[in-house]
Structure 1
Amino acid sequence: MRIAVIDDERPARSELKHQLLELLPDAEIEEGDCGAAALELAGSRKFDIIFLDINLGDINGTVLVNALKNMQPGVKIVFVTAYSEYAVQAFELEVEDYVMKPYDKKRLEKVLKKCFAEQTAKPEQEAPKRIAINSNGKTIFEDIQNIVYIETYNRGCMIHAEGNEYYESKSLGEYEKRLEGMQFFRMHKSYLINLDKVREVFPWGSNSFCLRMKGYDDNILPIGRDKVKVLRQLLGC
């Protein structure tokens, strides 16, 4: 069992690690003190569970969830927070559970049992290779690997798939959920991109960055300022 504890407060990390080792003496536990450290750990080794503090110094833990799931589709993510109002957000983001500070060993034990039960009951399924798109009164089955990027368009989405374009009246958030755990990343409120199709990332204006996607050299897509660091980590640049 390999566990990551991500928290910008050293005492909180130490206390959580201590309690986890009392419950799981054989566990290997790695620590990180910020979002960048979380991404570095996730990119270097596989984890079974990541305990992720919501209020990190460099980036909000809720922003990291999709990035970590993209890097490690099978990982269980548990939010760590001192504020009970984040409990609802934890379930909206479909993480496994949350634990409150100060830590309660019985609560931790319950969360760990839940994670183990889900691993046993839900073996990882092979990701789908095609996706159904309802466009212009037809249902098109497009290979997911062909989708380059999806953007908000009118009251729906425009799907750009290697030369083909489809309009569907679904929100970008719905597509983000449908493609969760695959090679896609919401790098801007209006754009969901296929990480495998990024051609280049470059500066644009004052303290801003943009990118181009393969096959769409004339389209310059802005990167959300709060997503630049995470995107660079995902792309290894």
Structure 2
Amino acid sequence: MTWDNHFAVMVFPYLLKGLQVTIIATLCSFALAVCLGLAIAVLEKITRGPIFFLISSVTHFIRGTPLLVQLFFLYYLLPYANITLPAFGCGILGFGVHYATYLSNVYKSGIEAIPVLQWEVSKACNFSPFQTWRYVILPQAIRPVLPVLGNYFIALIKETPLLSSISVMEMMGEASLFGDMHYRYLEPITMVGVLFLALGMVARGCVGSMTRILGVLREKDDHSASSLKGPYENSKMDPSENLIS
């Protein structure tokens, strides 16, 4: 089978339509995963006993089962419980919940990196638990893990072809349908691969830019912190020497 430029031109508009679905599904799923993952991480930190065990068990179960099985469960089995969601909604929910369980671990690593002194100072300042999380813990915990979240975003993009298994016509679904109609798959599948490569490169570039910006901000924060040090913190002189007359 040889490459047919005319056929490639024919299939390209269909792939662009699928590309729009892929991008929207990726953004919506990742937004859900980011918010839900943060909620899971905080709940696992503040809960104890049966509630902690329940949350931990559910997240381990979701991480331990294939995403495709979870999509099939939402799309084919929920109607038996009189819960019917559109295919696109099932895809967003499935991807969002699945990736939220992974992002929760990322958030937890950032939270656990916060020194215990930060919690103690917040308590000494009479901050409420909400104020402690909102103004002290989360701003420090989230910034360092943003590049890792970006890597999961790229991974999510590459898994969106699974949506075609539940009738969501993203790029792979459009390519398969067009190939079935014309009994020709070389051009559609190859072009899908190229488009996914381009999409991944754009996402990787955005993640890289974000990482560099965070590095610059961290350097500025370190510089500001060092400029606020006392005169004796930047020198090896013993402050007690000044007390000797």
TM over 0.5: no
TM-score by length of 2: 0.24
Larger Rg computed on CA atoms? 2
Bigger strand fraction: 1
TM-score by length of 1: 0.25
Higher RCO (CA < 8 A, seq sep 6+): 2
